[in-house]
């Protein structure tokens, strides 16, 4: 029971860290000369509102997808032999949902500016990587802990 709590707490912490990252970007990074020289929207407020709203959607989607994966892996996919716990297709399908939300968010945010789409895409790729891949790679149930890609390299417990 304690193991479930620790894993679910880890998923929650990753979601909270991403939310803090978005708030940092919203307060400090948007007004910086670094961003203003790379992104050229016609209306900064419109761009910032679009970015923040889509970032929230992507963060919430990645967190919920991580929780769905945890629930499926722990309570639905029963495993008698860990080497036969091949549920990577399910993990990839859930990851595809998160990835599509991140791509749509990056695209719709980039539409509000004339340049800087690579910075927006980089952020949404980071949300996908931290919010779903890394969270599930680190905090999947033990019976499916090596299902996420590269989990064998980042998880040794």
Q: How far apart are CA 29 and CA 94, in angstroms?
A: 31
Phi, psi for residue 41 in degrees, rounded to 5: -80, 155
What is the tens place of the pLDDT at every residue in 53-108?
888 898 889 889 988 988 888 888 877 665 566 788 888 899 999 999 999 998 98
Task: Quote the percentage of the chain above a pLDDT of 90.
Answer: 11
CA 142 to chain centre: 21
pLDDT greater than 90 at residue 137: no
Query: What tokens were used for 22?
Result: 């978005």
Element holding 93 (H helix, E strand): helix 88-110
Whether residue 48 contacts residue 30, with contact meaning beta carbons closer than 8 Å, is answered with yes
Of the candidates 144, 150, 136, the one whose C-alpha atom is nearest the C-alpha of residue 11 is: 136
Average pLDDT over residues 110-131: 79
Residue 113, beta-bridge partner list: 41
């Amino acid at each position: 029971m304690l193991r479930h709590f620790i894993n679910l707490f880890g998923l929650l912490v990753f979601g909270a860290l991403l939310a803090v990252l978005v708030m940092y970007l919203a307060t400090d990074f948007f007004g910086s000369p670094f961003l203003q020289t790379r992104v050229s929207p016609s209306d900064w407020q419109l761009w910032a509102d679009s970015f923040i709203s889509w970032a929230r959607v992507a963060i919430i989607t990645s967190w919920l997808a991580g929780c769905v994966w945890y629930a499926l892996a722990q309570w639905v996919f029963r495993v008698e032999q860990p080497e036969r716990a091949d549920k990577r297709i399910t993990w990839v399908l859930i990851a595809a949902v998160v990835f599509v939300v991140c791509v749509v968010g990056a695209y719709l945010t980039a539409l509000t500016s004339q340049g800087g789409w690579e910075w927006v895409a980089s952020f949404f790729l980071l949300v996908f990587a931290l919010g779903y891949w890394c969270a599930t790679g680190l905090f999947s149930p033990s019976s499916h802990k090596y299902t996420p890609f590269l989990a064998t390299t980042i998880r040794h417990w």
